[in-house]
Structure 1
Amino acid sequence: MVITYHGGNYVKIQSGDFTMLVDPTDQRSFKRAQLVLNTVLPPVLETGEEREKLLEMREPLWIEHAGEYEMGGVEVRGIPTGEEGGRTHTAYRVTVDGITLGILGFLMREPEAKVLAELADLDILFAPGGGKPLIAQSAAAKIVRQLEPGIIIPTLAKDVGPFLKELGKAKRPAEEKLTVKKKDIVPKAMAVHCLST
């Protein structure tokens, strides 16, 4: 699996011929993607009439709501995390090639315990680490500690230093991408990988 970060909460995840985009801000990448997840509605990428066309397309599969989905062996569970400022927020649990990903998205506050229960036993967690206007860095770190993923990838942060400090982790140099296999992930290790844009 290869993970690249494109700023904000926009993440590209590739495994073999499969490509998934999370909160994309660029329509050009849709041509090579099989799955697009939006963690907030209206989506980050405002497409107007184009959005309606995208929703009708077979590929990429466009998911922006809570529910359970399956596509070619990829399992997706959308978990509602509430509404804030007229926007609906959804977290996701995705399993690709045996690797389970958790995507918290644009969290504004701590989710209910039942949401965290659905995100248990993650290999990789994408967590908002930037603080205001989103969830405070201390609260985001608390969620990460509760979930204890194998790998943490901070998103939505200009400076991840305070978030990492809350986690008790040293600041790390940014990586261009993360290439990982299931066998390389140590359960509950909470290894931090900061990805550059």
Structure 2
Amino acid sequence: MQISWHGLGAFSITGKPVAGDVTLITDPFDNSVGLRLPKTLTASVVTSSMDSEVANNLGFIDGTEEKKKPFLVTHAGEFEVQGIFVTGINAPLKDKTPHTIYRYDLEGVSIANLGAMNRKLLEKEVAALGNIDVLILPVGGGVVYDEEEASEAVNQIEPRLVIPSYYNVPGLKLNLKDVELFCKELACVREDSNKLKITKAGLPQDEVEVAVIGRT
């Protein structure tokens, strides 16, 4: 499995759950945030955590040769697309704004995506996520978790690997903190490549690790 980060909560997750590459894209943003998504993005499935410019640019993503239009998931439920299993869990934000967190399962790896979460998870939400290998976690403060709240979420979910999201990068118009503040809470490893490769066997075994991926 390979994971790339495009800024904010937008990731491309590509694996081979059955036969051939299948890509899932999370929370595609629009240009108003100050960043641009790569023009070549294609996916079999796209998930959106909320109806906001930071996560709802669904029409930007093209389909693939096998699936001409990506399957769109914007709400709670259970879905399966070409061997990728997606579970959406209703988790409103602090101000009750509708918001969905997700669990993705492919290649034997479970991934939790907390979207733009800004409050402590409820026990029922943690239970619905289940055992998680990889946690995609907002860390930049302001409208999402700050570094301390993000660290608390790690303790709640107990993943083996954490990938930070929603932090400051050049050009971004949102007021978010740098990822280094979160890295003071949990030691981070900056990946040499902009693409993080993950296998079930290669996941950390003893202590949680944090991988910071360069933006593509």
With structure 1 as the length reference, what TM-score do the two structures score? Answer: 0.85
- What's the secondary structure of 1:68's corresponding residue? strand
Aligned to 1:59: 69
1:119 deviation in Å? 2.1
Q: Select 2:181's aligned residue among 149, 157, 162.
A: 162
Aligned sequence identity (%): 29
Does residue 212 of structure 2 align to residue 194 of structure 1? Answer: yes
The match for 1:182 is 200
Structure 1 partner of 2:34: none
Counterpart-to-counterpart distance in 2, 1:58 and 1:115: 33
* Bigger shift: residues 6-15 or 38-47: 38-47
Q: 1: CA distance between counterparts of 2:122 and 2:87?
A: 16
Which of 183, 190, 203 is 1:173 aligned to?
190
Contact 1:149 1:187 in 2 (8 A): no
Partner of 2:33: none
Alignment root-mean-square deviation, CA: 2.5
CA contact (8 A) 1:9 1:105 kept: yes
> Does residue 8 of structure 2 align to residue 8 of structure 1?
yes
Equivalent position amino acid for 1:186 in 2: P
What letter corresponds to residue 192 of structure 1 in structure 2? V
**Residues 150 and 189, structure 1, Cα contact 8 Å, conserved in 2:** yes
Runs of 4+ in 1 over 6 A off after TM superposition: none
The amino acid that maps onto 1:20 is L
> Which residue of 1 is the match for residue 23 of structure 2?
19
**1:116-155 alignment to 2 at 5 Å?**
116-155=126-165
Q: Which of the two has greater helix per residue? A: 1
TM-score (norm 2): 0.78
Q: 1:47 deviation in Å?
A: 5.3
CA contact (8 A) 1:41 1:87 kept: no
Paired residue total: 189
Question: d(CA) in 2 for partners of 1:147 and 1:46?
Answer: 26
Aligned to 2:48: 38
Q: 1:143 to 1:64 in 2, by over 3 A?
A: same
2-side partners of 1:15 and 1:23: how far apart? 18
Provide closer, same or farther for how the CA distance between residues 162 and 73 of structure 1 changes in structure 2, counting only shifts above 3 A.
same
The alpha carbon displacement at 1:43 in A equals 5.4
CA–CA distance in structure 2, aligned partners of residues 132 and 41 of structure 1: 18
The 8 Å contact of residues 24 and 44 in structure 1, kept in 2 or not, is answered as: yes
Contact 2:10 2:55 in 1 (8 A): no
Query: What is the distance in 1 between the residues matched to 2:206 and 2:48?
Result: 26
The aligned amino acid for 2:184 is K
Instruction: For residue 149 of structure 1, give the secondary structure of its aligned residue in structure 2.
Output: coil
For residues 39 and 140 of structure 2, the distance between their equivalents in structure 1, rounded to whole angstroms, comes to: 27
